Structure 1
Amino acid sequence: MFPSISGSSQIANTISAADKVYGLSKFWQEVNYNFVYLDKIDRNVWDSTYKALISQVQETKNDYEYYRLLQKFCALLNDGHTNIYTPKIEGLQIMQNMFGEHLVVIKRIEGKPVIIRSWKKDQQLLPVGSEIVEVNGMASEKYLRDSLLPYISSSTDYVKLNSATHWMLAGAPGSDFNIKIRKPDGRLSQLQLKHAKTTDSIYFPEFGKLFDEQKRELLDFKMLNNGVAYVGLNGFSNRKIDTLFDEVLPKLYNAKGLILDLRFNGGGSTDIGTYILKYLTNDDILQHSRYSTRDHLASFKAWGKYVSEKDTVNNAWNTKCWLVNNGTYFYQFPYEPDSFILDKKRVVVPTVILTGNNTASAAEDFLIAADNQKHMIRMGEPSFGSTGQPLVFDLPGGGSARVCTKKDTYPDGREFVGYGVLPHIKVAPTIKDYLSGKDVVLEKAIQYLNNKIK
């Protein structure tokens, strides 16, 4: 996240004007050639913004301002797997929550920016549960949309808002924020904050009290009441989780119901998750996402310059030329469901898969593969809504970028990138639930399974 920083004379300016233009052009070029969702953006806006940025990047005063412009450019693509990554920049300091004698930690709950942690001594001044209603004289939602959202790359609006809320008061040391809050009792209060380090350390609530702060292993397992088993699958980046699942599998044979928690799984490798899922179904094959990527054929692009859309009617050759010229001709990867033979007993019982806004990438592929399993339902909130194969490349000054090159859909072609995989039963915590440490999604899943296995 790149907050606006004023008074930045100490921030390094090591990238030459020529390299700044090169980096901008490199990103623009790779997007034009490889970005799989090019058909979803306004090409005129994209190209005109690039043209305007050629002079703007050369006028940036330092490396930070340059990368901030690149990030804003990238955000036009609205894709969670297409990003600009800033290098370590000398002289750059960004503070998020510390304001000298005050601490303000914010999370988006019930569609509002809510203070979820402050100093214990500040519970009269900055009580947890307070909503931030204004920042610097501007309504919070307008402040987020004007000052932060234009710099965030995401496929879904709710993930953008979560991120913007998390960083809404970030700034350089010494930067000022005038905030208005609505306290839990309904009273409004105004407070002037200035970023500075603090020495206080008595937090309220204490770290670990909130349910999403609990210590989690790569795989968490526990037997709950009434024969319900809980398995937290907290990442598919490390193949060790498959070994851990093998160790837990015999304990699942006595389960009458199963909860699979993917709310804290940011993804990894699809096949790691598939290894686990195949033991939780009676099927010998598993459906998976369909994949496609843009197919650039230079001669067809050349011919396509002279083909209009009306020329494509009932003409496959002209259609191909026209699509290639417009960057919308796709290679469809051969589709074949995953087949397997197992030598271990399976666990097929009523199953609830818990999902949230941080269920991402390969974890979403897991949800797609499980979509047609009649004994499984999803519960919680929509998933992250972004997956794909990023092309990674370097940028001047030590930064880097990635561009999504692969489109994933349900096997029947339905799209989930940009929308998230939706739960069958939507459950989200209230402010009161969250601050009390109550995991209402898990509680609802237990209740659902208890009713199923009576």
Structure 2
Amino acid sequence: MVPSSASLAQTKTTDPALRQAREYYKAGDVARLDKRYADAVQLLVKAYELVPASHELPYDIACLHALSGAKDDAFKWLDVAIGAGYLNVDHMLKDSDFDSLHDDPRWQKTIEKTRKEAARQARLWSSPVWDSAYAEQLSEDERIAGLSKFWSEVKYNFVYTNKLMDLDWDAVYLRYLPKVRAAKNTADYYKILMEMCALLQDGHTNVMPPTILYNDVWGTVPLRATLMEDKVIITDVLDPALRERGILPGHQILTADGQDIKAYLQKTVAPYISASTPQDMDVRLYNYVLLLGDLDTPVKMLVADPQGKTLSIDIKRINTTTRRKFATPRPAFNWRMLANNVAYVELNSFGDNTAANEYIKAYAEIAKAKAIIFDVRKNGGGDTDVGYRVLQTLGTPPFDGSHAATRDYKPAKRAWGEKQAMHDFADEKNQPDPERAYHGTVMVLTSASTFSAAEDFAVAFDSMKRGLIIGEPTGGSTGQPLMISMPGGGSARICTKKDSYIDGKAFVGVGVQPGKLIHTKIDDFRAGKDTQLNAALAEIEKVR
């Protein structure tokens, strides 16, 4: 089956035809799992009659015919799917539903037909001409073409059009044209594009340089830090050798190459970082790309221990691959029962279904607690529906998620002088879990490292009025990125979707605000205490 076919079952809509099509699809999927392929075909055909523009449904119908051995019908519906826009050849070749078709001469003809149409369609939006190989110096034509592509894709797809008007995006293009022409090499060229992108101040709109630059040209120090009480405090020492040299979590970074650390980063790194909020920028500067710079140039750092004793040390930058090897991955889900029967649940990633699946598995034990604390302070996002599956167990009536909108650009209306409109996606309530309903006290911990789908989780929880959000404002960056290829192996992404609270209240560019603002205290961190978790536990005791 096509991976995105489930999107019909998950589509949020108030349109009666789409609602009915969704019900047919769900019933058809049940029949498919029961291997009642004829029944499944009938149900999906009914859905397709209601949604004739779909390319997913005819693909799935073709799969069902192939599974039942009806080859002629399978090829017929594959043709319908391809004609409607299904062009994922790689998936077709891997899809075991079509194994029975592989020895039929029509199979190779279908594959070639799909490849040919895919190549033709690619020439409109993602021509292979952009897939040029990395070179230390791209040609001037390639550099200008890349600048032009990024500028034009932002102009027509970036959802926050007020920013484009305020910046005068065309004027920005002309201002950066001579910079691109003068770029000394590809590394310099990509820094120029990153600087241009940073003007948009959006954490979901970025220029990503070729991987080779992060492995062979640029590096960061093997440390992570955060701002605590306006001081740059080391939170993680990735290289054990640095620990042996006396650099430990809790130490304060005072200077880099003789300059105040914050001033140094604002001057040398911040201009190239895309961020939606000040707290988003801080996470990127002090945690993600701390002291980004030339890989072969060490950094002289001055650090102070908790007693104020200073240590000057030369630290060699490491590349991205080495940094990832040093880092210990966090599990998407983890939980434990704290004192006084409080369940502490870490939801560290919504990148796949793991967090929700593991939570559901452990729910029976977690639900025995008198209170649950959900921690999304280190959750960078992923799939919003993963977080919603957790919230659906909290024993509330149907609840709102966030509202989404995108640009509704119609060239003819522009020619008629009409202002560009926005397309608002239909809002739909999230239904509670029919099998699970927790009625105890609930708290959510957030931080500036809570991003994207984890912010959607916080927005929905806030709207549910189910409990208190404690900690720091979230990163304030979410949306649907459009990915584009850039010359020399780089890429870019552009935010195409504007998200807000259901009533229009903004959180992008601001952050979801906690009900109780609690910043981490340096003394607590150094003592191994969790300031925000302890604050949540104190609030739970007040409820008793």
Structure 1 and Structure 2 fold alike (TM over 0.5):
yes
Of Structure 1 and Structure 2, the greater strand share is in: 1
Amino acid at match of 2:425: F
Out of 106, 110, 116, the residue aligned to residue 229 of structure 2 is 110
CA distance in 1 between partners of 2:212 and 2:434 (Å): 54
Distance 1:174 1:231, change over 3 A: closer
Q: Distance in 1 between matches of 2:180 and 2:493?
A: 19
Partner of residue 53, structure 1: 176
Give the structure 2 partner of residue 401 of structure 1: 492
**Structure 1: which 5+ residue stretches go unaligned?**
1-10, 99-103, 198-206, 305-320
Task: Tell me the CA shift for residue 218 of structure 1.
Answer: 2.2
Cα deviation for residue 179 of structure 1 reads 4.4
- Identify the match of residue 417 of structure 1 among 504, 508, 513: 508
1: CA distance, partners of 2:151 / 2:494: 10
Task: Kindly report which structure 2 residues correspond to 1:293-312, keeping only aligned pairs within 5 A, or say none.
Answer: 293-304=406-417
1:97 and 2:221 are equivalent in the alignment: yes
Cα distance in 1 for residues equivalent to 2:435 and 2:354: 18
Find the aligned partners of 1:194 and 1:447 in 2 and give their Cα distance: 41
Between the aligned partners of 1:106 and 1:369, the Cα distance in structure 2 is 30
Contact 1:176 1:192 in 2 (8 A): no
Q: Could you list the per-position Cα deviations for residues 268-303 of structure 1 after superposition, in whole angstroms to 9, with x for gaps in the alignment?
A: 1111211221111321x1101111111112122123
The number of equivalent residue pairs is 399
* Deviation of 1:196 (Å): 6.8
Do the aligned partners of residues 92 and 379 (structure 1) sit closer, same or farther apart at CA in structure 2, a change above 3 Å counting?
Answer: same
Q: TM-score, normalised by structure 1?
A: 0.80
215 and 399 in structure 1: CA distance in 2 versus 1, 3 angstrom threshold: closer
Q: Is this contact kept in 2: 1:64–1:89, CA < 8 A?
A: no
Amino acid at match of 1:362: A
1:432 aligns with 523
SS at match of 1:448: helix
Q: Hey, what does 1:63 align to over in structure 2? A: 186
Q: Relative to 1, partners in 2 of residues 1:45 and 1:94: Cα closer, same or farther, differing over 3 Å? A: same
Q: Confirm or deny that 1:291 pairs with 2:404.
A: yes
Shift of 1:120: 4.2
- Residue 162 (structure 1) aligned with residue 283 (structure 2): yes
Relative contact order (alpha carbons < 8 A, sep ≥ 6): 1 or 2 greater?
1
**Secondary structure class of the residue paired with 1:132:** strand
Counterpart among 371, 389, 411 of residue 257 in structure 1: 371
1:82 aligns with 2:82: no
CA RMSD of aligned residues (A): 2.7
Counterpart-to-counterpart distance in 2, 1:227 and 1:89: 50
Seen in structure 2, the aligned counterparts of structure 1 residues 53 and 287 have a Cα distance that, compared at 3 Å, is: same
Change (3 A) 1:375 1:53: closer
The runs of 4+ residues in structure 1 deviating greater than 6 Å are: none
Q: How does 1:114-129 map to 2 (within 5 A)?
A: 114-116=233-235, 117=237, 119-123=242-246, 129=250
From 132, 153, 162, the equivalent of 2:274 is: 153
Aligned partner of residue 155 in structure 1, secondary structure: coil
Q: Residue by residue, what CA displacement relative to the aligned partner does 1:248-279 show, whole Å, maximum 9, x if unpaired?
A: 12123322111111112211111121122111
1:81-124 CA-to-partner distances (Å, cap 9, x unmatched) read 101111133782333226xxxxx65433222223454734543x
Higher helix share: 2
Alignment check: 8 A CA contact 2:251 2:303 kept: yes
Which whole-Å CA distance do the structure 2 matches of 1:388 and 1:95 have between them? 28
* Structure 1 residues 273 and 132: CA distance shift in structure 2, 3 A: closer
Which SS does the other structure have where 1:282 is aligned? coil
Q: Which whole-Å CA distance do the structure 1 matches of 2:391 and 2:435 have between them?
A: 13
Distance 1:36 1:225, change over 3 A: same
Distance 1:279 1:119, change over 3 A: same
* 1:309-351 alpha-carbon deviations (Å, 9 max, x no partner): xxxxxxxxxxxx1x22xxxx311122232335x4314102111
Which residue number corresponds to residue 351 of structure 2?
237
User: Which secondary structure state, in structure 1, belongs to the residue aligned with residue 506 of structure 2?
Assistant: coil
Q: Distance in 2 between matches of 1:111 and 1:408?
A: 30
CA distance in 2, matches of 1:280, 1:48: 51
Distance, in Å, in 2 between the alignment partners of 1:438 and 1:190 is 25
Q: Deviations over 1:103-154 (max 9, x none)?
A: x65433222223454734543xx67644334434443333222221111111
Distance in 1 between the 2:344 and 2:400 partners?
24
For structure 2, the residue ranges without an aligned partner over 5 or more in a row are 1-133, 319-324
Q: Write the distance in 2 (CA, Å) between the matches of 1:130 and 1:240.
A: 35
2:483 partner SS: strand
Residue 62 of structure 1 and its aligned partner are, at CA, apart by 1.8
Task: Supply the distance in 1 between the matched residues of 2:342 and 2:290 (Cα, whole angstroms).
Answer: 40
Share of identical aligned residues, percent? 35
- d(CA) in 1 for partners of 2:261, 2:312: 14
Q: Are the structure 2 counterparts of residues 446 and 196 from structure 1 closer, same or farther at C-alpha, using a change threshold of 3 Å?
A: closer
1:220 match: 334
Larger mean CA deviation between 127-136 and 238-247 belongs to 127-136
Structure 1, residues 342-380: CA drift from partner, whole Å, max 9, x if none? 431410211111111121111111111111333311011
1-structure distance, mates of 2:328, 2:465: 31
Alpha-carbon shift at residue 182 of structure 1 (Å): 5.0
* 1:14-33 → structure 2 map (5 Å cutoff): 14-33=137-156
Query: What letter is aligned with 1:333?
Result: F
Q: Does 1:335 align with 2:427?
A: yes
SS of equivalent to 1:238: coil
Residue pair 1:171, 1:195 contacting (<8 A) in 2 also: no
What is the distance in 2 between the residues matched to 1:243 and 1:165?
32
